């Protein structure tokens, strides 16, 4: 007899506004306990010293995490001029100092070189693996791991505020794998200055924005499950750029059994027009409830991830 899973079959997304000095893993654990959920995960690690959007998946929503990990993100960060630290943030040991304080015009003139597809070397204090070990573990052990440049995409970058001569605030929108600390490192170098990240906030992950966000403090103030569930976003929230297809109850039954369904030509043409280049993924629903994620091939939809949801999302 199969062992019953601990917790409740709660499914959906929480758009968490992660507080300062909390790891993403601890944030997931606290949200999971609040909802007494059987499963939980997050889409894209946020450094402990950063705040902002951390999408947390509960239950069946964990099956859609891969689609959000690749989503575009937006950040707002402050550079403190004058000191470079080993970690390129406020917690690291100071390794260099300078009296140079680039002004707004100098930073705005330098930023275009960081927009588009660029080659970026990740900071050595990062989770990237080198010969099977985390780069930050090697760095903390006194080694200097060699990290290779990798392509990242920065869609736009702009100066959003200059509170004083020692600080400047910048906002960017970027693709996956972009390190803000590496941008600050390279920008300071290009300007002949020293600098580090003194504040960092993620303002968007795909469709998850600050307008949808809720704090841990507020979630923990709620004393009953119903109040928690009011802030639970649908499983399909992470699939905003994936076309949907309503299917019959009979086809939904086939998909849940792992069997493909046949499309009529007009359905094929309609879906092709809505698919993003290079993608074959289609989301299917029956009665407004997610049934499965499918791959469209040769006029058929073949299920790749099947969901077990009812109309309440649980």
CA 70 to chain centre: 7
136 and 212 part of one domain: no
Q: What average pLDDT does this structure show over 29-50?
A: 90
**Residue 4 domain flag:** no
Per-residue confidence (pLDDT) for residue 1, from 0 to 100: 46
Tell me what pLDDT residue 241 has.
85
CA-CA-CA-CA dihedral for 285, 287, 290, 293, to nearest 10: -20
Q: Are residues 84 and 199 in the same domain?
A: yes
Q: What CATH number is associated with residue 277?
A: 2.30.130.10
In a domain, 24, yes or no: yes
3-class state of residue 245 by DSSP: strand
Residues 214, 166 share a domain: no
Mark whether 143 and 220 lie in a shared domain: no
Q: What is the pLDDT of residue 224?
A: 59
Q: Do 229 and 264 have their domain in common?
A: no
CA triple 98-101-106, angle to 5 deg: 130
Kind and range of the H or E run holding 27: helix 24-35
Residue 7 lies inside a defined structural domain of this protein: no
Residue 118 scores a pLDDT above 70: yes
Using H for helix, E for strand and C for coil, what is the string for 57-108?
Answer: EEHHHHHHHHHHHCCCEEEEEEEEECEEECCCECCCCEEEECCCCCCHHHHH
Q: Which domain holds residue 60?
A: 12-71+207-237
Q: Would you please indicate which residues are annotated as catalytic (active-site) residues? A: 47
> pLDDT for 261-273, tens place per residue?
999 999 999 999 9
Instruction: Let me know whether 87 and 192 are in one domain.
Output: yes
pLDDT in tens, 181-228: 999 999 999 999 999 999 999 999 999 999 999 999 999 887 656 667
- What is the count of structural domains for the chain? 3
313 found inside a domain: no
At which of 217, 237, 257 does a domain end? 237
Least confident of 29-38, 215-224, 242-251, 264-273: 215-224
Q: What is the DSSP string of 158-205?
A: EEEEEEETTEEEEEEEE-TT--HHHHHHHHHHHTT--EEEEEEEEEEE
188 and 94 in one domain?
yes
pTM given for the model: 0.88
CA distance 21 to 19: 7
Calculate mean pLDDT across residues 113-121. 96
- Residues 90, 83: Cα–Cα separation, whole Å: 9
DSSP letter for 8, please. Answer: B
Q: Does the structure show a pLDDT above 70 at 3?
A: no
Comparing CA positions, the residue from 276, 92, 110 lying closest to residue 192 is: 110
Q: What confidence category does residue 39 fall into, taking pLDDT thresholds of 50, 70 and 90?
A: very high
CATH code, 137: 3.30.2350.10
Gap between the Cα atoms of 267 and 228, Å rounded:
38
225 shares its domain with 156:
no
Nearest by Cα to 125 from 17, 195, 47, 193: 47
Q: Which residues contact 57 (CB under 8 A, 6 or more apart)?
A: 13, 40, 41, 42, 43, 64, 65, 238
Angle, alpha carbons 230-232-238 (nearest 5°): 150
Per-residue pLDDT at 231: 87
146 domain residue, yes or no: yes
Question: In this structure, is residue 301 part of a structural domain?
Answer: yes
Residue 212 domain-assigned (yes or no) = yes
Domain match, 225 and 184 both: no
Mean pLDDT of the chain: 90
Whether 201 and 211 share a structural domain: no
Within 10 A of 94 (CB to CB), how many other CB atoms are there?
Answer: 12
Are 174 and 83 found together in one domain?
yes
Q: Are residues 65 and 175 in the same domain?
A: no
d(CA 283, CA 275): 11
Residue 183: φ, ψ to 5°: -60, -45
214 located within any domain: yes
Could you give the 3-state DSSP secondary structure of residue 252? helix
């Amino acid at each position: 007899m199969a062992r019953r899973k601990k917790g409740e079959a709660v499914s959906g997304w929480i758009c968490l506004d992660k507080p300062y000095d909390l790891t993403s893993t601890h944030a997931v654990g606290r949200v999971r306990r609040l909802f007494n959920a059987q499963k939980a995960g997050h889409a894209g690690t946020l450094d402990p010293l950063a705040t902002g959007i951390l999408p947390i998946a509960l239950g069946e929503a964990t099956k859609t995490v891969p689609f959000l990990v690749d989503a575009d993100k937006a950040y707002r960060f402050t550079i403190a001029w004058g000191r470079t630290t080993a970690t390129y943030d406020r917690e690291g040991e100071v390794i260099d100092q300078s009296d140079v304080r680039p002004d707004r015009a100098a930073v705005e003139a330098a930023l275009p070189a960081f927009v588009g597809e660029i080659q970026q070397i990740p900071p050595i204090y990062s989770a990237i693996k080198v010969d099977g070990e985390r780069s930050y573990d090697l760095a903390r052990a006194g080694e200097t791991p060699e990290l290779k440049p990798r392509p990242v995409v920065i869609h736009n970058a702009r100066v959003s505020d200059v509170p004083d001569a020692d600080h400047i605030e910048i906002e960017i929108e970027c693709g996956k794998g972009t390190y803000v600390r590496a941008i600050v490192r390279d920008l300071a170098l290009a300007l002949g200055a020293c600098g580090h990240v003194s504040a960092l906030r993620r303002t968007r992950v795909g469709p998850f924005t600050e307008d949808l966000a809720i704090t841990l403090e507020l979630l923990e103030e709620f004393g009953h499950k119903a109040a928690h569930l009011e802030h639970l976003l649908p499983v399909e929230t992470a699939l905003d750029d994936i076309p949907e297809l309503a299917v019959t109850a009979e086809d939904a039954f086939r998909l849940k059994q792992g069997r493909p369904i046949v499309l009529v030509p007009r359905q094929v043409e309609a879906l092709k027009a809505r698919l993003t280049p290079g993608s074959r993924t289609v989301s299917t629903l029956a009665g407004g409830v997610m049934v499965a994620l499918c791959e469209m091939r040769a006029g058929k939809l073949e299920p790749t991830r099947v969901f077990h949801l009812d109309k309440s999302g649980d």
